[in-house]
Amino acid sequence: MADKNYYVTTPIYYVNDKPHIGHAYTTILADVLANYHRLLGTPTYFLTGTDEHGQKVQQAADKNGLTPQQQCDQTVVRFQELWKRLEITNDDFIRTTEERHKVIVQEVLQDLYDRDEIYRAEYEGWYCVGCERFFAEKDLVDGNCPECGRKVDAIVETNYFFRMSKYQDWLIEYIETHPEFIQPDFRANETLGFLKTKTLQDLCISRPKARLAWGIELPFDKDFVTYVWFDALLNYITAIGYKRDDEKFEKWWPATHQLIGKDILTTHTVYWPTMLKAMNVPLPKTVFAHGWWLTGRTKMSKSLGNVVNPMEMVDRYGVDAFRYFLIAEMTLGQDASFTEEAFIRRYNSDLANDLGNLMSRTVNMLGRYCDSIFPTIGKNALDGAPEKELWDTVQQAVIEMEKAIDTMCLNGGLTAVLTAVRKVNQYFEIKQPWTQAKEGKTEEVGITLALAAESLRVCAALLYPVMPEKMSALRTAFGLGKPELNQLRTFGVIKAGTPIGNPGILFPRVEVEKVEEKPVSKKKEKPVSTEPVKIEGVITYDDVMNVKLRTAKVLEAEKVEGADKLLKLQIEVGEEKRQLIAGIALHYTPEQLIGKTIVIVANLKPAKIRGVESQGMLLCASIGDQLKLITVDGELPASGAVVK
């Protein structure tokens, strides 16, 4: 958290259609990051908005029988209403049809033209309407657009070009010397691969009005409008006072995190930095490209009819549950699968069974055993071993969440918080306050319930940026207001004598509808076996699917004392650390294993081997006396990947 100020942006979204889960995810992610930094006391600015020029908007307007401006005005409301519904706390919402944006775009264009960074020339090539980009014939894939796969149109016309090619070597060097600029790092490698294998072309930054009238007019040629991407990218600086409010601009720029989907990586890591270089404006600190939301293994697409409507999910399960799922389910940088079944599983497990149930138990027992008044406890409340272990777990969640914010691994931070929540539930089973109360151990009951409530207080503060509504209700029950992150490491924040409220059921369990059973026929018939015929040595698809294979990284390795064939491995599976015992010591030394990515059976029941616990099993291949570890083809960005 070294940043003096924190400026986070989302892409600005096209107004040719209603928002979908991809838009919602990026905006919720930005909101969560902004919320965390606000709680840390960091001055924060959060920008989102809409991209309202270009051919796709004009086509949507024509299809709907509207003017382009009417199309924009009608569609932008859908985004603004959804952001309110999703509890988005953006500081500004910019529309590229606003005068404050258009006038700066024209000033930038004029300045670049005056300095010969923009020139006029004839262009002959291929144009993709969907991407609104020109491509050379050698870049086409089977005659179609290399980005989206759509049909391209042959075009010959005069246009204006930005001298982007002159910055190719500079950009390669910049990316290589600024590893934080493009994240995750494998996206930087993707951009570098593009820059090092292809000659960067100059960028066409205009469209003739005869073909496209909807755009910002070029200040030096009234017969042309600006290419939509050259217009849109500038929103990140026009919104914060570029060329109008130097004090505001210098406060917030460079941006800390510019969040994008991986499909617009090139525009943000090639076009955008070269534009800024030509303008003599510093580059953003980090452009972070997240993955796509998939349905199964298929990218969500309007044409396929598999796009998730955020409004419907919110109506069905609540805003906070929807926000939680999106942040918890996706590892930033990688693709994630969205199914309603997966949503319900995580909702019931994390929110209803663990967090919601813990809150209900704690509040109800405070009511039953303490008359709904927070108990007075002594300074020795954390002296007991179970108490110390619980508080240490809660404090570890604080540490992990702080790391998660810095490393953009929010799902890992949430995992640590839910681990702490489950630890409180386990603590109740160990201490059994209901038994303590029966035995008249009033002081012990007070310590048990106070520690549970204090643990919940800390967990609620850590979860507040993700689920502000529900976590506010939880904290209000303990007489607390908006969380203060400087109190996370302090025990005893809830004051003795505080009346305890009851927020009700925070997350009602979702019951999956059962398939209605057919009525049994009254006619007696010889029963027919419905069991599949089992063939010896053959397993079913269900058998395979029950085995969970994951990639894991070996962190440490050492021999097991008294066992010539056994090695003890400390491995990382996603955000989880595990210990594995493997009989491979005759084939690998401990030093050979450290840093390797291996494949393990992740859901194998833990077992003790030579008195040492093993939490899983690694996979190997052998023939005769030879044995080799099973790994994956190439490096993956993180451990914990599903092996299919």
Q: Are 290 and 25 contacting, i.e. CB atoms less than 8 angstroms apart?
A: yes
Q: Show Cβ contacts of residue 255 under 8 Å, excluding neighbours closer than 6 positions.
A: 7, 8, 9, 236, 284, 285, 286
- Measured CA to CA, the distance from residue 565 to residue 581 in angstroms comes to 10
- Which pLDDT score is estimated for 543? 56
- Which pLDDT score is estimated for 159? 94
- Which pLDDT score is estimated for 1? 43
For the ranges 134-138, 244-248, 492-496, 529-533, which has the lowest average pLDDT?
A: 529-533
Q: Are 109 and 219 contacting, i.e. CB atoms less than 8 angstroms apart?
A: yes
Nearest to 311 by CA among 640, 21, 623: 21
Has domain 339-487 been given CATH number 1.10.730.10?
A: yes
- Which pLDDT score is estimated for 306? 56
- Which pLDDT score is estimated for 303? 53
CA dihedral 169, 170, 172, 178 (to 10 degrees): 160
| pLDDT confidence bin for 530, thresholds 50/70/90 | very low
- Measured CA to CA, the distance from residue 343 to residue 316 in angstroms comes to 11
Judge whether residue 633 has pLDDT over 70: no
- Measured CA to CA, the distance from residue 187 to residue 629 in angstroms comes to 28
Identify the burial level of 59 via C-beta atoms within 10 angstroms of its C-beta, where 0-12 means exposed, 13-18 middle and 19 or more buried. Answer: middle
Q: Are 457 and 476 contacting, i.e. CB atoms less than 8 angstroms apart?
A: no
- Per DSSP, 184 falls in state S
Tell me what the mean pLDDT of segment 622-635 comes to.
70
- Which pLDDT score is estimated for 538? 45
- Tokens for 351, please give them: 């929110």
Question: Between these two residues, 611 and 57, which has the higher pLDDT value?
Answer: 57
- Measured CA to CA, the distance from residue 387 to residue 443 in angstroms comes to 14
- Residue 11, Ramachandran bin (φ over 0: left; ψ between -120 and 50: alpha; else beta): beta
Has domain 541-629 been given CATH number 2.40.50.140?
A: yes
- Which pLDDT score is estimated for 639? 63
Nearest to 35 by CA among 343, 381, 471, 329: 471
Residue with tokens 């691994």: 409
Q: Are 164 and 271 contacting, i.e. CB atoms less than 8 angstroms apart?
A: yes
Tens digit of each residue's pLDDT (9 = 90 or more) over 75-106: 999 999 999 999 999 999 999 999 999 999 99
Judge whether residue 455 has pLDDT over 70: yes
Tell me what the mean pLDDT of segment 407-433 comes to.
96
Q: Which residues belong to CATH 1.10.730.10 in the chain?
A: 339-487
Q: Show Cβ contacts of residue 627 under 8 Å, excluding neighbours closer than 6 positions.
A: 584, 586, 587, 620, 621
Average pLDDT, the chain: 88
- Measured CA to CA, the distance from residue 302 to residue 130 in angstroms comes to 13
Q: Which residues belong to CATH 2.40.50.140 in the chain?
A: 541-629
- Measured CA to CA, the distance from residue 626 to residue 587 in angstroms comes to 8
Tens digit of each residue's pLDDT (9 = 90 or more) over 365-394: 999 999 999 999 887 888 999 999 999 999
Nearest to 288 by CA among 319, 335, 256: 256
Residue with tokens 């494949």: 599
Which amino acid is present at 217?
A: E
- Which pLDDT score is estimated for 562? 66
- Which pLDDT score is estimated for 600? 86
* Highest mean predicted confidence (pLDDT) among 15-19, 538-542, 632-636: 15-19
Taking CA 596 as the corner, what is the angle to CA 595 and CA 600, rounded to the nearest 5 degrees?
Answer: 125
- Which pLDDT score is estimated for 192? 97
- Tell me the β-bridge partners of 112: none
Would you tell me how many other CB atoms lie within 10 Å of the CB of residue 438? Answer: 10
Judge whether residue 624 has pLDDT over 60: no
- Tell me the β-bridge partners of 260: 289
- Which pLDDT score is estimated for 327? 96
Residue with tokens 């109506």: 315
Judge whether residue 193 has pLDDT over 80: yes
Q: Are 467 and 32 contacting, i.e. CB atoms less than 8 angstroms apart?
A: no
User: Distance between alpha carbon 471 and the CA centroid of its chain, in Å?
Assistant: 20
- Measured CA to CA, the distance from residue 264 to residue 555 in angstroms comes to 35
Residue with tokens 């201490």: 431
- Tokens for 555, please give them: 């962190």
Judge whether residue 272 has pLDDT over 80: yes
3-state secondary structure of 162: strand
- Measured CA to CA, the distance from residue 402 to residue 414 in angstroms comes to 11
Tens digit of each residue's pLDDT (9 = 90 or more) over 284-323: 999 999 998 887 656 655 555 556 777 788 889 999 999 9
Question: Between these two residues, 173 and 58, which has the higher pLDDT value?
Answer: 173
- Measured CA to CA, the distance from residue 418 to residue 77 in angstroms comes to 36
Judge whether residue 494 has pLDDT over 50: yes
- Which pLDDT score is estimated for 553? 82
Q: Show Cβ contacts of residue 359 under 8 Å, excluding neighbours closer than 6 positions.
A: 456, 474, 477, 503, 506
* Span between the terminal Cα atoms of the chain, in Å: 37
Question: Between these two residues, 616 and 425, which has the higher pLDDT value?
Answer: 425
